[in-house]
Amino acid sequence: MAKLLEGSILASKIKEEIKLQVVSLKSKPVLASILVGDDASAAAYVKSQGKTAQGLGVIYKLHQLDKNITEGVLIDFILNLNADKTVNGIILQTPLPKTIDYKLVSECILPLKDVEGMHPLNMGKLFFGRANMVACTAGAVMELLNSTGVDLYGKEVVVVGHSEIVGKPLMLLLLEKFATVTVCHIGTSKAGKLEEHVKRAQVLIVAVGKANLIKGSWIKEGAIVIDVGINRVGDKIVGDVEFEVAQKHAAYITPVPGGVGPLTVTILMRNLLQAIKLQK
Ligand code: NAD
């Protein structure tokens, strides 16, 4: 039976380190959060960020903007935060209203304040193995992998999902560790090849958003399974991997909820401290 990789335990350890660093600063770190409109999932994420920030001594400044805001006004708002020396980090909550181009607007965030690690400059640094701030979910997955003590060198790692916030940055972080990385996506499934790839994964990371996409019987004996997916099924939250069967084959597996999720916000706060160092 697999050992559970619980994000909250790891998050508590990292938070203790963050708290120590925060008290050593001259002034409290300030994280500006921009929430446009009234999306329920974004509002829930904001609440969790605010609570984590408070527990760490970080000032969380929430800016709630009208859903009818124009792209131009939103960009001006961000430019003001860029120029504000009291603000250390900026996070633009998603999803944004359909009238706003996320890529265009998020690129206006000063790279040194981009605590989500999504600015092209920060992504580019990741490409060259010189990342300052790594996309939070990808960073959380790497922390979980690191906590197993398993050396990734030469391991067959399969990532399912190639989004810009999870799969793509992970691919680069895993290559840094000299893992042999295969990235699967919808095209892999459509070609009928997903099972074949998953079955040979010594490390499997899934970030798709489809409940039970990965059958438990596909998991290689002794594999490490990191399930990033969050899906609501009835009144339950489940991941993308068929957990009950998968845990019989894996050596390590993340529960959903309670795996990657609790760590993501912690990595965001760690990025904020990194941002402060860079701003100095
Ligand atoms: P996305 O929609 O941007 O990307 C989905 C990826 O899955 C794409 O690469 C797509 O090609 C692939 N895909 C879709 N259907 C597929 C199929 N049938 N077979 C194989 N691949 C398929 O998603 P995202 O933003 O990366 O999020 C993915 C999941 O991770 C969601 O459930 C999201 O809620 C969750 N998530 C969790 C956290 C966390 O902190 N725990 C953070 C971010 C995202």
What pLDDT digit, counting tens, does each position of 99-152 carry? 999 999 999 999 999 999 999 999 999 999 999 999 999 999 999 999 999 999
Q: Rounded distance, CA 207 to CA 161, Å?
A: 5
Mean confidence (pLDDT) of the chain: 97
56 plus 98 within the same structural domain = yes
Final residue in a domain of this structure, among 83, 115, 147 = 115
Q: Rounded distance, CA 127 to CA 99, Å?
A: 31
- Provide the domain limits for residue 155: 136-261
pLDDT at res. 232? 93
Site residues for ligand 1, CB cut-off 6 Å: 137, 160-163, 165-167, 184-186, 188-189, 194, 207-210, 213, 228-231, 260-261, 264
Whether the Cβ atoms of residue 63 and residue 89 lie closer than 8 Å to each other: no
Would residue 165 count as lying in a domain?
A: yes
> What value does the CA radius of gyration of the chain take, rounded to a whole number of Å?
19
243 plus 149 within the same structural domain = yes
Whether the Cβ atoms of residue 29 and residue 276 lie closer than 8 Å to each other: yes
Strands 231-233 and 236-238: antiparallel
Would residue 127 count as lying in a domain?
A: no
pLDDT at res. 278? 96
Would residue 71 count as lying in a domain?
A: yes
pLDDT class of 90 with cuts at 50, 70, 90: very high
Task: Output the CA 26–ligand 1 centroid distance in Å.
Answer: 40
What's the CATH code of the domain at 39?
3.40.50.10860
Would residue 88 count as lying in a domain?
A: yes
Probe target for ligand 1 pocket from 171, 208, 241, with the most ligand atoms within 8 Å of CB: 208
Cβ neighbours of residue 80 closer than 8 Å, sequence gap 6 or more: none
pTM of the predicted protein model: 0.97
Domains identified in the chain, total number:
2
